[in-house]
Amino acid sequence: MEKYLTPRQLSKYRERVERVLEDEAFVIGARERKLINERTANGRRYFYLVAKRHEGNKMIERFIKVPQNDSQKLLLPFKRQVEFAKFLKKHQVIKTRGVVDANCDLKRGTPFAIMETFPAAKAKIGFIEGDKGADRLGAREARRVLNQLLKLHAVSIGSLPPALKKILKAHKGGYKDFKKEVGRLLDKKVKPLGLKRGKESFYRVLERHFGVHDLKGSVNGLLERARPFIDAKANRGPALAHGDMAPNNLYVFDSGEVELLDLEWVGLFNNKALAMIDDFGNLRARAWSNRKFREALDNELIKIYRRRKQEELGKMIVRLSILHAHLLLAGFFENYPWPKQKDRAQTRRRILTERDIAKALA
């Protein structure tokens, strides 16, 4: 949810954006002005726009992104995205839009990033917005997105510039930390529909929905079986993770190639299995409306690990990914205001998400 801004703050936000666009030689017409007003009035953390820009004697279409304010809360992930995008482009790690120009130093003025745009011809899928866009993803896209994700995960940490390594999001890394995080999700206090007073632990809500009496026991049993896989020697060591995998953070070309977007939350795990659990789980859970795509992701990931002679590890990663990410999302639903919990789309999403939690524990 975006933070509410006062009229004065909104005005300052708009003026900030207009100043950067003017300084960076963007062409601003009626269309652009309308988008500037809309995209600053909504109070979002970052303003973005695709527009023509003067570069030498040419007019080139570019993407620009400007943080709403100069707080470290916004600037750190913004700088992370810019610096990591530069690294990926320079080393041709995965497909990504190049950074044309950027400023992340407050001493030099308002931060901004200007990047290459996607091809002018409209792709059949292209950017994915909302559940209807995600519904167009299939087995081909599942295969291609995992290919890009594996390349990102395989980046040698030693190849990263020290300044970039320093700003990566740091994740706690090991079986005990993962087990503690799952326990925290189960114990989260929620206020589900019909609860007369106070709040209750989320696992109690799931027990009612599943018709079981010891959900924690089932979860702990799965986690104990997973321990040898997570703690295996092959999984020890640093691994990068995208940190915000979701259908709306993909761009799909007509060729089926996929580009990963939004690199703000790229981070470092100290366990390769946990890095994959985080990224794979996020993508899968947030594709909640597309069962075929989720199943294709499961099958493709297991195939990848089978080729590595690690099929059982692959199966366990799928189960733990589902468990962790779906617990996280399902817990959000139970804390929505009751009118939103009653919404048909939210109810369907909750049911499908909980159904996958049960699948992970079966």
Per-residue pLDDT of the chain (362 residues; tens, 9 = 90+): 456 788 899 999 999 999 999 999 999 999 999 999 999 998 889 999 999 999 999 999 999 999 999 999 999 999 999 999 999 999 999 988 999 999 999 999 999 999 999 986 778 888 888 777 889 999 999 999 999 999 999 999 999 999 999 999 999 778 999 999 999 999 999 999 888 889 999 999 999 999 999 999 999 999 999 999 999 998 999 999 999 999 999 999 998 899 999 999 999 999 999 999 999 999 999 999 999 999 999 999 999 999 999 999 999 999 999 999 999 999 999 999 999 999 999 999 999 999 999 999 98
The full 3-state SS of the chain, as one line of letters, equals: CCCCCCHHHHHHHHHHHHHHHHHCCECCCHHHHHHHHHHHHCCCCEEEEEEEEEECCEEEEEEEEEECCCCHHHHHHHHHHHHHHHHHHHHCCCCCCCEEEEECCHHHCCCEEEECCCCCCCCCCEECCHHHHHCCCCHHHHHHHHHHHHHHHCCCHHHCCHHHHHHCEECCCCHHHHHHHHHHHHHCEECCCCCCCCCEEHHHHHHHHHCCCCHHHHHHHHHHHHHHHHCCHHHEEEEEECCCCCHHHEEECCCCCEEECCCCCCEEEEEHHHHHHHHHHHHHHHCCCCHHHHHHHHHHHHHHHHHCCCHHHHHHHHHHHHHHHHHHHHHHHCCCCHHHHHCHHHHHHHHHHHHHHHHHHC
Which CATH number is 126-361 given? 3.90.1200.10
CATH ID of 7-115, from 1.10.10, 3.30.450, 3.10.450, 3.30.200: 3.30.200
Question: What is the value of pTM for the model shown?
Answer: 0.92
Report the pLDDT value the prediction gives residue 42, as an integer from 0 to 100.
85
List the domain boundaries for the chain.
7-115, 126-361
